[in-house]
Amino acid sequence: MPAIADRSSSPFKAMLTAKSCELAGSGGCCPPQKRRLRSDTAAAAKESPVSTPMKLKSPRRRLDSSPSSPANRVKKDPSGKTLKKCWNPRDVEQIRAVKEAVHVSTAPSTVVCREDEQKRVLDFCKACVQQEKAGSLYVCGCPGTGKSLSMELVKQQVIDWAKMEGLQPPEVLAMNCTSLANTSVIFSKILGMHQPKKKSIGSASPLQHLQNLYSSKQAQSSSKMMLIIADELDYLITRDRAVLHDLFMLTTFPFSRCILIGIANSIDLADRFLPRLQSLNCKPMVVTFRAYSKDQILSILQERLLVLPYIVFHQQALELCARKVAAASGDMRKALSVCRSVVEILEAELRESASNTGLTSAEGDFVSPQTALAHEVFPSQENNTVRIDHMALALSKTFRSPIVDTIQSLPQHQQIILCSAVKYFRGGKKDTTVGELNKSYIDICKSALIPPVGILEFSSMCRVLNDQGLFKLGQSRDDKFKRVTLKVDEADISFALQGVRLFRNCLQ
């Protein structure tokens, strides 16, 4: 029977002898070590060039202190610049900072991708202030294209420029026309800027006071230039268009001091509602803010995220958001809303995964505490950052048609009827009869082993779909011969029913 090696055997002695030699720092073998005092050990450590072994730390502290850990690893790009670290979505403060950075109401430090439009408006205001001449300008463009934000920036730039040039800065009256109790209140606000302490005397209206003021030479010598910025200008459109017309006409009086900038979404507002101004050769200058392109949306998102010291979004996720929003509307507010929504999706996903995480895996295998600790300490960048699948989910929720919600709320047999209609019309036909559609419906029910309804109930369900705007039914004495036309896009039906295997197989 082979002997079992013990601590007195030669291999163990050799190991102990080598360890003793290493601690003493000598090259040859050493006699067995005597017991040393703690003070002697400390003195020997100072004299020895080899440091004493460090105390073992707990697994968490060892991982945290590792130079290759995510917290301590310094990331650099090929040019040698230090890159941002990955964020921790479990940190409440970081979540709050990210949501604030992409909030619509958060004004960015710089307004990018609108430099040309801002320059045109600024040059117009400079010319009016320099020449002390009234003028009107109309800023138009789709919602969310940076009109109001750019005008806020231009307003401050005009004041700063006038002070630098030694000119008298204009008085500024900025308002949102939707906040006015009455459309004609705007004239009271303008008059109040000219005469803040005076009350209107007599029966004359504020508009008449302004017209008299701008008709006399005294106005030019006694008052400063006034910059009026009227946002949501189309709110002032009345039935006779008088308020809007009178507002722009204030800039045509010989001694007017008004620089009027109107902001609205309608591109042809000046042509449709102010024809008389064109006949008087007083048509306002027009600056159009076009919808943002994919590259512009991406640049603005990246500019907003620069304030954060960590990486939140994958580049591909931002590109997908920019591409989808640019194709749909070019509305920057919609892109910011999607970014906030996708952060909330990631937050909910992490909460769900945290509640489902235990010491047993999905397959039932045991997960050691060390493995669970490693997952906690080494959260991968893939799990922490907003991925492209998160962004796709947020985009589908944002841009989903209301028709999709209607289709998904229908009873099963009505969904089968829609599915049979899509399948039937794929052959190039635009309409069919209720009887022919019933045959397609029965085929799908048989393939899914679902009992079909009778022809009377089928006709009744077609009428329900007609009332909901999904079908268009023609007129006929016999329900079987009524013509059926699909009134919604096939893609909406496919998207709404793709989550159910039955319909997914039928529509493939």
Give the gyration radius of the chain's Cα atoms.
37
The token pair that represents 286 in the structure block: 């027009």
Say whether pLDDT at 276 is over 80: no
More confident of the two residues 275 and 237:
237
Greatest pairwise CA separation for the chain in angstroms:
127
More confident of the two residues 182 and 77:
182
Say whether pLDDT at 26 is over 70: no
Give the range among 61-65, 114-118, 266-270 with minimum mean pLDDT.
61-65
402-507: in CATH 3.40.50.1370: no
How far apart are alpha carbons 453 and 468 in whole angstroms?
20
The string over 326-347, giving b where at least 16 C-beta atoms fall within 10 Å of a residue's C-beta and e elsewhere, is beebbbbebbbbbbbbbbebbe
How far apart are alpha carbons 200 and 183 in whole angstroms?
18
Say whether pLDDT at 476 is over 70: yes
Q: What is the DSSP string of 220-261?
A: HHHS--EEEEEESGGGG--SS-HHHHHHHHGGGSTT--EEEE
pLDDT in the model for residue 331? 93
Chain region(s) in the chain for CATH 1.10.8? 87-106+301-353+384-399
Percent pLDDT > 70 in the chain is 76
pLDDT in the model for residue 130? 94
Residues 6+ apart with CB under 8 A from 335: 297, 300, 301, 321, 322, 325
Helix, strand and coil in the chain, % to nearest 5 = 55, 10, 35
Q: What is the DSSP string of 404-441?
A: HHHHHTS-HHHHHHHHHHHHHHTTS-SEEEHHHHHHHH
How far apart are alpha carbons 152 and 146 in whole angstroms?
10
Chain region(s) in the chain for CATH 3.40.50.300? 114-194+205-288
pLDDT in the model for residue 329? 87
pLDDT digits (tens, 9 = 90+) for 339-395: 999 999 998 888 888 887 653 444 454 444 444 433 443 344 456 889 999 999 999
- What is the mean predicted confidence (pLDDT) over 243-264? 92
Give the range among 193-197, 236-240, 357-361, 495-499 with minimum mean pLDDT.
357-361
- What is the mean predicted confidence (pLDDT) over 124-151? 94
Instruction: Please answer whether residues 246 and 207 qualify as being in contact, where contact means their C-beta atoms are separated by less than 8 angstroms.
Output: yes
Residues 6+ apart with CB under 8 A from 216: 255
Say whether pLDDT at 462 is over 90: yes
Query: Helix (H, G, I), strand (E, B), or coil: what is residue 502?
Result: helix
Give the range among 114-123, 130-139, 269-278 with minimum mean pLDDT.
269-278
Best mean pLDDT range from 212-216, 333-337, 367-371, 381-385:
333-337
CA 118, 119, 120, 124: dihedral to nearest 10 degrees?
100
CB-based burial of residue 308 (10 Å sphere; 0-12 exposed, 13-18 middle, 19+ buried)? middle
Tell me the torsion sign for CA atoms 95, 98, 100, 104. negative
Best mean pLDDT range from 21-35, 191-205, 441-455:
441-455
Backbone angles phi, psi at 52, to 5 degrees: -75, 155
Say whether pLDDT at 78 is over 70: no
pLDDT digits (tens, 9 = 90+) for 3-16: 444 444 444 444 44
pTM: 0.65
Give the range among 39-48, 164-173, 439-448 with minimum mean pLDDT.
39-48
Say whether pLDDT at 247 is over 50: yes
Percent pLDDT > 90 in the chain is 48
Q: Assign 201 a pLDDT band (cuts: 50, 70, 90).
A: low
Average pLDDT taken over every residue of the chain: 80
pLDDT in the model for residue 173? 95
pLDDT in the model for residue 384? 80
Enumerate helices (H) and strands (E) in the chain, giving the number of each: 24, 10
Task: Give residue 33's Cα distance to chain centre.
Answer: 70
Give the range among 69-73, 242-246, 287-291, 306-310 with minimum mean pLDDT.
69-73
How many of the other CB atoms lie within 10 Å of CB of 400? 14
How far apart are alpha carbons 3 and 15 in whole angstroms?
19
CB-based burial of residue 40 (10 Å sphere; 0-12 exposed, 13-18 middle, 19+ buried)? exposed
Q: Assign 280 a pLDDT band (cuts: 50, 70, 90).
A: confident
- What is the mean predicted confidence (pLDDT) over 119-142? 95
The Cα angle at residue 173 between residues 214 and 226, in degrees rounded to 5: 35
Instruction: Please answer whether residues 387 and 350 qualify as being in contact, where contact means their C-beta atoms are separated by less than 8 angstroms.
Output: no
Residue closest to 458 by CA, chosen among 425, 495, 421: 421
Say whether pLDDT at 81 is over 90: no
For 87-106+301-353+384-399, give the CATH class: mainly alpha
Residue closest to 138 by CA, chosen among 332, 291, 289: 289
Say whether pLDDT at 404 is over 90: no
464 half-sphere exposure, CB direction, 13 A CA radius:
15
Find the distance separating the first CA and the last CA of the chain, reported in whole Å: 72
Instruction: Tell which CATH architecture fits domain 114-194+205-288.
Output: 3-Layer(aba) Sandwich (3.40)
How far apart are alpha carbons 473 and 25 in whole angstroms?
99
Residues 6+ apart with CB under 8 A from 350: 89, 90, 383
For residue 349, the one-letter residue type is: E
Q: Assign 65 a pLDDT band (cuts: 50, 70, 90).
A: very low
For residue 89, the one-letter residue type is: P
Chain region(s) in the chain for CATH 1.10.10.10? 402-507
DSSP 199: P
Give the range among 78-87, 127-136, 152-161, 277-286 with minimum mean pLDDT.
78-87
